[in-house]
Amino acid sequence: MIEINDTCAEDPPQADAFRMILIVFIGTIVCTIGIVLNSFLLLSFRRLDVFRSNLLYLFLLACLDILVELCFMLIFPASLVWDYFRVEFLYTCWHIYIKYVSTVGQVLIAASTLLIVAASFERYICSQRSSIQFSPQRRFLFISIVFTCALFMKGSVFFELELQSLPHCPPFQNLRLDLSEITRSESYKTIWMFWCRSIFNVFLPFFLLLVLNSLTISNLNKLHNNGFQSILVEQMPTLLRRNSEACAARRRKRDATRTLAALITIYLLTNTLNLLITIMEFINPDVLGSLGEGWTYKYLADLSSVLTISSTAFRLPVYFHCNRDIRTQIRDFARSCFIDQNEKKKLGKLTMPITASSTESVL
C-alpha cells in the first residue's frame, strides 16, 4: 500500500439494479452450485486411480473450478455489494485483498483453459491409433507446463495493480486501486497486456480447441468403423474374449472422447461472447466505451463473466451424461451418502424399541 497526498474524489457508482441481479444474485447462485457440485465430484473421484489415468485432468479441473468460483465471489459480487449498499468494512477488505485474489483468479482461469487444451491434445493423439497411450510421467509433464505457462502469462497481474492510500480522505475515498508504474509503458501495455494475453489466453485456446475437437471426433469415427469391420472378419470363438476386451477399451476411449468433446463444446459456447468482445477491442475499442455511456460494455463484460463461470459450475452433469465410469462412481458415492444414511436412521428407529423391551425382560 502506497500513501499519496492527492485530491479526494469518490469513484463514480459502478453498481445498478441490473448488475446487482446479474452478478450478485445470479453469479453468486451459479458459483455456489458450482462449488457444491465440484466438491461432490472430487469426493466421487476418491475410489478412482485418477493420478494414473486421463481423469487427472478432470480432477485438477474440478479443483481449479472451486478456487475460480471462490475468487469470482470475492472479486465481483463483493465489489458491487459495498458500492451499492455502502458497506465500509467490505470496502476496506476488498481493497486490501483484491490485488492477491485477482492475480490468483487470473492464473487459475488461464490454467483451467490450458488444462482443457492439454487434455484435448492428449485425446487427439490417442485417437489416431487405438494402441497409443500416454504415460503418467508424460501427463505430469504436460500439466507442469500448463501451470508454468499460466503463471508466466498471468502472474504479472500482481505487479500491474497498485493500492493507494489517502489517509486524509473520508471513507469510500481513502483507498484507490490503480495501475502500477510498469503499465504506464506504452509498449508493455500494448504488446504484453493486450496483444500477447489476448492471443494466448483467448484466441489461440479457442481455435485450438475447435480444431482439436473436430479432428478427434473424425479420428474416433475412423477407428470405430475399422474396429467394426475387423470384428465382422474375425469369427473364431477363441477371439471372442479378446474382442470383448477390445470393445470395452474402445467404449472407455469413446466415453472419454465424448466427455472431452462436450466439455470443449460448453467452453466454446460460454466463451464466444468473450471472444467477440476481445475482437471488438482489437478493431475499435472506442465504440464499446461509447455505447450507453459505457454501461453497455459493462453489461456485456458482466454477462461474459457469468457465462464463463457457468461453464465451471455445471461440469458434473456433463461427466454424468457422457462417461459411464464417472457415472457409476457418482451414483455409488450418492448412494453411500444419502441412501445409507437414511437406512441407518431407519435402523436406529427400529432397534430402539427392541433394545428397551429386551432390557425390561432382563430386569
- pLDDT (0 to 100) of residue 146: 95
Q: Bridge partners of 163?
A: 177
Pair 124, 212: CB distance under 8 Å: yes
E strands, the chain, in order: 2-3, 161-165, 175-179
What is the C-alpha separation between 91 and 20, in angstroms, rounded?
Answer: 16
What is the C-alpha separation between 66 and 112, in angstroms, rounded?
Answer: 11
- pLDDT (0 to 100) of residue 288: 74
**Helices 324-334 and 315-322, packing angle to 10 deg:** 110
Query: What cell does 332 get?
Result: 455409488
- pLDDT (0 to 100) of residue 238: 45
Of 212, 352, 325, 193, nearest in space to 268 by CA: 212
Of 31, 39, 41, nearest in space to 327 by CA: 41
- pLDDT (0 to 100) of residue 341: 58
Query: What cell does 336 get?
Result: 453411500
Pair 130, 247: CB distance under 8 Å: no
What is the C-alpha separation between 160 and 12, in angstroms, rounded?
Answer: 22
| Edge-to-edge order in the sheet of strand 161-165 | 2-3, 161-165, 175-179
CB neighbours of residue 284 within 10 Å = 10
What is the C-alpha separation between 125 and 219, in angstroms, rounded?
Answer: 10
Query: What cell does 30 get?
Result: 451459479
Q: Containing H/E element for 204?
A: helix 204-233
- pLDDT (0 to 100) of residue 70: 96
- pLDDT (0 to 100) of residue 128: 80
Per-residue pLDDT of the chain (363 residues; tens, 9 = 90+): 676 767 887 778 888 999 999 999 999 999 999 999 999 999 888 777 788 888 899 999 999 999 999 999 999 999 999 999 999 999 999 999 999 999 999 999 999 999 999 999 988 888 787 667 778 888 999 999 999 999 999 999 999 999 988 888 898 888 999 989 898 888 898 889 888 988 898 889 999 998 998 888 888 777 666 654 444 344 444 444 555 656 666 677 778 778 888 888 899 889 999 988 888 877 777 777 777 677 888 999 999 999 999 999 889 898 898 888 888 888 888 888 776 555 555 545 544 443 333 323 322
Pair 67, 104: CB distance under 8 Å: yes
Residue 3: phi, psi to the nearest 5? -85, 130
